[in-house]
Amino acid sequence: MEHVRGYEERNPLTMQHIHSGYPRFVTHHLIEACKTRFRESQGGSGQDIYCLNSQKATRELIRFTGGTPDIAIQSEIAFVSYKANSEESRRAHQFLQHTGTCISSRRAEDYLGSGLKSGQSSSSQSPTSRFENPVGSTPETVLRILGEAHMTSPNNVFLATSGMNAFFSVFRAMQDLQAEHGRSLWLQLGWLYVDTGEILRKFNKPEDFAFLPNVFDLDAVRTFVRENRDRIAGIVTESPTNPLVEMMDIDALHSIAAESGAALILDPTLVTPLNIHVLKHADAVINSLTKYASHEGDVMIGSAVLNPESPYYQQLRDRLPVLIEPPYTRDLNRLADQIGNYRGVVAQINSNVMRLAHFLSNSPSVAKVYWAYADASRRNFEKYERQSNAPGGIITIELKMPLDRFYDRISVAKGPSFGSIFTILCPFMYLAHYDLVNSVQGQKYLRSLGLNPDLVRISVGIEPIDEIIEAFSVALSE
C-alpha cells in the first residue's frame, strides 16, 4: 500500500520503478520512443507530444483542448505538440486518457521498426496464446464470436481501440443526434468507472450533466426523466456497476428512457455479455474487450454493439464509423488469437468465483461481499443472466482488518484491470479516486454513497481454486 500511495502521489522513489502500466494511464515506453524520434526529426524541444491514431481524433482533441497545436502526420500517426506544461497540454493528456485515442504499443513498435509496412510486426516473433485456439484467428471470427456473445448479428458490432473509445464514440454520435432535437441533458446512473463519468462531465456543459447514485431507485429516475422529458438526451449506466457489482432492472430502466425519447447506453463489461444479455434492453452496449475476450491481458480493444430494434439504430450505424477509432491490425490479430477460448475461460472464472465468494462470505475478516449474487442484486441479475451460476469474475469486499495488512500480505497479482486468466486485485478507490480517498471530506462523500474508501476489488482468474482460496486465507488470517 505504501507503493500504491507513492504512485498516486508521484513519489520519485516509487515512480522510478514504474516502467509500464495500464496504457491509458501510463505511457508505454515504445510510445515514448516514438515521441523522442519525432522530436529529433523536427529538431525541436520544449514541447509535450501526443501520438493519436487518426486526424479525426486530432480534431476531437483540439475541440476539447482549444488552442492551435502543431500537427504532423507520419506513418498515419498524428503527432500533436503543445507547449510543455501548458494548460492545453494538461487537457490533451486528459483527452487521451478519457477517450482511448492514443496509439497502441504495437503500432508504436511498427513505427519504430525500420523499413516495415503498416501492420507488420518489428518483433522477431509475435506472442502466442497459452491455449490452443479452437476456432481460428481472423477478424471475421472476432466479429462472429462477439455477435454470438451479444446474441445479435456481427453486422451490429463495431470494434474500437479500447472500451473507452467505444463509449466515447457512441456518446458523441448520440450527443450530436439528440442535439438536433433540442436534447442535451445526460444522466449518469450509479457510481461508474471513472472515465465514463469524466466523459459525461467534461464533454457536456455543467447544466447538461446529472448524477443519480442509487441504481435501485428507479422511482427517482422516473421522476427525474419526467421533469426533464423535453431535453433529456440519454442515460448511461453499467450493468452491473463497477466496483459494487450492483445490478438494476434494466428492462424497467429502458422503458423509462424510451417513454421520454432518451437513449440508454449500457456497459456489461464487469461480468461480460457471455453471462448476461442486455442488448435488447438498450440502444447501444459498450464492452471493453481488454477484459475476458483478450484474457491474457495484453490488448487494449473494445466494442460498441447496436440494438437493431432501437429507434436510433440506422442513424447510429451511419454516424459511428465516422467517429470510432478502429483497432490497429496487430491488436485485432492478437485478440483473434485469444477469443476462441473466450467461453472456456469465462466458464472457469465463473466456477472459481462461486467458490471464492462462498469462502469470503464466511470469513470472519470480511465485513461485506459484493458480487452478482449478493442479496441486493441477485434478483435483477438472475432476470437477465444467460445461464445459472455465471456471476462474472468480480468480487468486491469490505474488510474487518486494516487494508494495509491485507494488501501487503496477499500473494496474487495487483493492478487496475480485470477479466484476466490470472487473479488480480486492487484497492479500487485508491487507484480510481485517490483525490477523494486522501481527504476527510472526500471520504465522507464516498461513504454517503455507500462506498467504503478501503474497498478491495478482486478479479478472479482460472488458477486452481484451492490455490486462490489459500492465498486469501493466509492474507485474511489474524
Q: What is the pLDDT along the chain (478 residues), one digit of tens a residue?
A: 999 999 999 999 999 998 888 888 889 999 999 999 998 888 767 889 999 999 999 999 999 998 889 999 999 999 999 999 999 999 999 999 999 999 999 999 999 994 344 444 444 344 555 666 555 568 899 999 999 999 999 999 999 999 999 999 999 999 999 999 999 999 999 999 999 999 999 999 999 999 999 999 999 999 999 999 999 999 999 999 999 999 999 999 999 999 999 999 999 999 999 999 999 999 999 999 999 999 999 999 999 999 999 999 999 999 999 999 999 999 999 999 999 999 999 999 999 999 999 999 999 999 999 999 999 999 999 999 999 999 999 999 999 999 999 999 999 999 999 999 999 999 999 999 999 999 999 999 999 999 999 999 999 999 999 999 999 999 999 8
pLDDT at site 23:
86
In terms of Cβ atoms closer than 10 Å to its own Cβ (0-12, 13-18, 19+), residue 301 is buried
pLDDT at site 358:
98
Cell numbers representing residue 52 in the block? 493519436
Identify which of 261, 273, 276 has the alpha carbon closest to the alpha carbon of residue 302. 273
Cell numbers representing residue 138 in the block? 481472423
Whole-number Å distance between alpha carbons of 138 and 121: 17
Identify which of 273, 306, 272, 293 has the alpha carbon closest to the alpha carbon of residue 135. 293
Integer angstrom CA distances of residue 77 from 58, 107, 121, 322: 10, 9, 16, 17
Phi-psi region of 199 (alpha: psi -120 to 50; beta: other; left: phi over 0): alpha
Cell numbers representing residue 200 in the block? 459525461
Cβ 320 vs Cβ 169: under 8 Å? yes
Cell numbers representing residue 284 in the block? 447501444
C-beta atoms surrounding 204 within 10 Å: 17
Cβ 63 vs Cβ 137: under 8 Å? no
pLDDT at site 117:
42
What number of residues does the chain have?
478
Pick the CATH number of 19-112 from 3.10.50, 1.25.40, 3.30.70, 3.40.50: 3.30.70
CATH 3.40.640.10 positions along the chain are 139-339
Whether residue 243 is preceded by a cis peptide bond, meaning omega within 30 degrees of 0, is yes
pLDDT at site 20:
81
Q: Which amino acid is at 381?
A: F
Q: Which amino acid is at 29?
A: H
Integer angstrom CA distances of residue 368 from 300, 351, 457: 32, 21, 12
pLDDT at site 137:
67
Which residues are registered as beta bridge partners of 212? 189
pLDDT at site 14:
95
What are the backbone angles phi and psi of residue 163, rounded to the nearest 5°? -60, -40
Which residues are registered as beta bridge partners of 158? 304
Whole-number Å distance between alpha carbons of 263 and 266: 10
pLDDT at site 123:
43
- Is residue 176 within a helix (H) or strand (E), and if so which, with residue range? helix 163-179
Q: What is the DSSP letter of 45?
A: -
Whole-number Å distance between alpha carbons of 406 and 269: 27
Class of domain 342-476: alpha beta
Q: What is the DSSP letter of 326?
A: P
DSSP letters for 25-93? TS--HHHHHHHHHHHHHHT--SEEEEEES-HHHHHHHHHHH-S--EEEEETTEEEEEEETT-HHHHHHH
Cβ 69 vs Cβ 63: under 8 Å? no
- Architecture of the domain delimited by 139-339: 3-Layer(aba) Sandwich (3.40)
Q: What percent of the chain has pLDDT over 70?
A: 95
Q: Which amino acid is at 306?
A: L
CATH 3.90.1150.10 positions along the chain are 342-476
CATH 3.30.70 positions along the chain are 19-112
CA 290 from centre of chain: 8
CA 116 from centre of chain: 32
Cell numbers representing residue 12 in the block? 520519485
Identify which of 355, 462, 451, 457 has the alpha carbon closest to the alpha carbon of residue 414. 457
Cβ 50 vs Cβ 65: under 8 Å? no
Whole-number Å distance between alpha carbons of 348 and 343: 9
Whole-number Å distance between alpha carbons of 230 and 262: 9
Whole-number Å distance between alpha carbons of 232 and 183: 5
Whole-number Å distance between alpha carbons of 242 and 443: 18
